[in-house]
Amino acid sequence: MPTALITGATAGIGAAYTRRLAGDGFSLVLVARDHDRLAADAETLHRRYGVAVEALPADLSTEAGLAAVEDRLGAGVDLLVNNAGFGQPGEFLKVPVEAELTMLKVHCEAVLRLTYAALPAMTAKGRGGIVNVASVAAFFSRGTYSASKAWVVNFSGAVAAEVAGSGVRVMALCPGLVRTEFHQRAGMDVSGIPGFLWLSADDVVGASMRDLALGKVVSVPSLRYKAIVGIGRLLPRNQVARISGRVNRRFR
């Protein structure tokens, strides 16, 4: 039975991955900060799907948390989903630099280190997959968040190229707006965003699994966001930055 490790596993896209992968017959290793919620979710998934579920409480913004997950990955998994992440509610200069550094540790350092920890066992077996959850924001401009997600896309592409032919696939998932706890936790007012722009977490995960099976390096779920990203890539970067800035101020 294959094993998948998912970070940020108790909510949103991470929780959707746990349901999908348990339904596909994967044993699960769930990583999140909330010990009680993690334990409850592990028990629920085990009862519902009959698969083995391991709860691994870890805060990926800390050295101890990262080291614990690295150790578990060293034992080998078949699929790693680097999903843990968060947003900031304010403009760059209004967010404490400590909070921005924490974001970089979770979005960039954790993705790098956990990918590095998972790959040796995967390449030795000649199979495996890594999904690094980025965002459509990676192709636009929204302070440190979009910059960190752009790093995830670039990093994933570089690693995918290095392991090509090994049987291991690495992909960046770039969803648009998804109905999760993400925006509420970040204190963002999204009440003015049109309904047609919202995606479901289950649909995003389904699209990502199809794209991973097809060997795609970047997955952008839904035609509407593929179009948005395509248009963004055609526009001059300074114009994209101005548009992004206006949108960010409107929906902050």
pLDDT digits (tens, 9 = 90+) for 125-146: 999 999 999 999 999 877 899 9
Burial status of residue 54 (CB atoms within 10 A of its CB: 0-12, 13-18, 19 or more): middle
- Domain with 32, as residue range(s), is 3-250
> Could you tell me if 36 and 11 are in contact, meaning their C-beta atoms sit under 8 angstroms apart?
no
Give the domain CATH number at 92: 3.40.50.720
What percent of the chain is modeled with pLDDT above 90?
74
pLDDT value of position 196:
58
Whether 16 shows a pLDDT value over 90: the answer reads: yes
pLDDT value of position 106:
98
| Residues involved in catalysis | 145
| Rounded-to-integer distance, Cα 13 and Cα 6, Å | 10
The total number of structural domains that make up the chain: 1
| Rounded-to-integer distance, Cα 205 and Cα 219, Å | 10
Look-up of token digits 């099976």 = 213
pLDDT value of position 238:
56
| Rounded-to-integer distance, Cα 198 and Cα 108, Å | 26
pTM of the model: 0.88
